[in-house]
């Protein structure tokens, strides 16, 4: 299903204490919001791409991702 792009500004934070660097958020984000550092730590590098589909949050096995819609 192709959704029209939704104009939302989303604040994405990753709790480094909880993150186990499994790579699932990076591996499945269709909008390339994340990149992985050399040690596998996910980093939010393209937050403006985020469409707030919430799948990274729901699929994060460690409850490490928080999404907040700012506008």
Partner 1 sequence: MSGYTFKSYLEKSQLPHMWCPGCGDGIILRAYTEALAELCLAPQEVVTVTGIGCWGKADDYLGTHAFHGTHGRALAFATGIKLGNPDLTVVALMGDGDAVTIGGNHFIHAARRNINLTAIVTNNYNYGMTGGQYSATTPLEGKTTTSPNGTAEPGFDLCFLAEAAGANFVARTTCYHAVALKNMIKEAISHQGFSLVEVVSSCPTYFGRFNVHPSPVKMLNWLKDKAVPVQKYREMSAAEQAEHFAVSTLVNKNRPDFYTTYKRINRPDQSAKGEE
- In the complex with partner 1, the residue whose CB is nearer, 21 or 46, is 21
Select the residue interacting with partner 1 from 31, 47, 52, 55 (CB under 8 A): 55
- Please report whether residue 23 would count as binding partner 1 according to CB under 8 A: yes
- Please report whether residue 36 would count as binding partner 1 according to CB under 8 A: no
Q: What is the DSSP string of 21-35?
A: ---HHHHH-TT--EE
- Please report whether residue 28 would count as binding partner 1 according to CB under 8 A: yes
SS3 (DSSP) at 55: helix
How near is the Cβ of 67 to partner 1 at its closest, in Å?
13
Pick the closest to residue 14 from 69, 70, 58, 57 (CA basis).
Answer: 57
């Amino acid at each position: 299903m192709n959704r029209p792009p939704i104009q939302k500004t989303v604040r994405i934070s990753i709790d480094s204490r909880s993150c186990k660097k499994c790579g699932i958020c990076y591996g499945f984000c269709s909008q390339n919001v994340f990149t992985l550092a050399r040690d596998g730590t996910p980093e939010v590098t393209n937050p403006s791409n985020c469409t707030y589909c919430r799948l990274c949050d729901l699929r994060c096995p460690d409850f490490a991702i928080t999404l907040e819609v700012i506008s």
